[in-house]
Structure 1
């Protein structure tokens, strides 16, 4: 019996399937909306859940955010007469430094500066006494299909020891930050997923 020729699906059926696949991909695309998990990825391949970030779209087109660190995952360190919440590993102590001044607390899909300022850290060796504010870390966020990923940049936290002159703009502009090579710091990247 001769083989039957393969049937080709009608064009409309193919385009309908493609449209459905695209709609499902769009529906699952990562957005700056809702509660997301804040995760530290370390150079020794650990994944540490640090807390959450809640995104709330506003009528003006900006997106409000609130960072909620899970302090149960941190230990208290008293450095330079101040309490810091820190995580330790890889021969390094990394301490969260909450941004201390009033700010808009909003972002846009293309401007994540204020969120980055809420994810400041300092690092030190476990045997070192006190906080060396020039050992600051700024995680510059980039958007991916799976969320936001921040790579470390070095900063001097002494810059925010006094209120900035302009409170409506994030003070750590690119000229005040230097890239850190991959694997140099224990928290190699921060992700919001």
Structure 2
């Protein structure tokens, strides 16, 4: 299901955010249930599920991500069944395969970023290429969590990280990508 957001505010906010001029980061994280939406370059929205935030210990916020796989198609790629969205490209959700505390803070959304990993492939391309990973760098801005797609090699998840308490993808594992070439370069949680 595709929904268009026609709000001028949303368009302006997105343009400012892409230019690095968005509103300052909020002090507190969201609470309650929110929608998780992927956004294409034209602003069309593709809801993929919900997330529920609740207070946790040590000033952290716990979350429960519920991806609505009824919106996805089944693909059998590289001897593995994957749940994928089909459009200009094929985007497959890659659930983080290791234990994860599923907690975030207003300044550290890395565990949620790891739960929102995708792999893309071109329509008609054979198999799964895990080096075509997509990692949404998230930030809390003006009551929403906004994300921009970055490139990541998902092959790094073939073996568990040495320290399961630290998100394995760090600053130098994630690279900028050509957003105009990707089908779903944006993500919003609201």
- Do they fold alike, i.e. is TM over 0.5? yes
Superposition misfits of 4+ residues, deviation over 3 angstroms = none
Counterparts of 1:56 and 1:30, CA distance in 2: 12
1:140 maps to 2:137: yes
Q: Report which stretch shifted further, 53-62 or 74-83.
A: 53-62
Aligned to 1:26: none
Counterpart of 1:104 (choices 82, 101, 118) is 101
Matches within 5 A, 1:16-31: 31=29
Unaligned runs of 5+ in 1: 1-28
Structure 2 equivalent of residue 180 of structure 1: 177
Deviation per residue, 1:74-131 (Å, 9 max, x gap): 10111111111111112x1001000000011111111000000000000001211211
Partner of 2:81: 83
Q: Is the 8 A contact 2:130 2:153 kept in 1?
A: yes
Aligned residue number for residue 92 of structure 2: 95
TM-score (norm 1): 0.81
Q: Which protein is bigger by CA-based radius of gyration?
A: 1
Normalization by structure 2: what TM-score?
Answer: 0.83
CA distance in 1, matches of 2:180, 2:28: 27
Unaligned runs of 5+ in 2: 1-26
Match of 1:164 among 156, 161, 165: 161
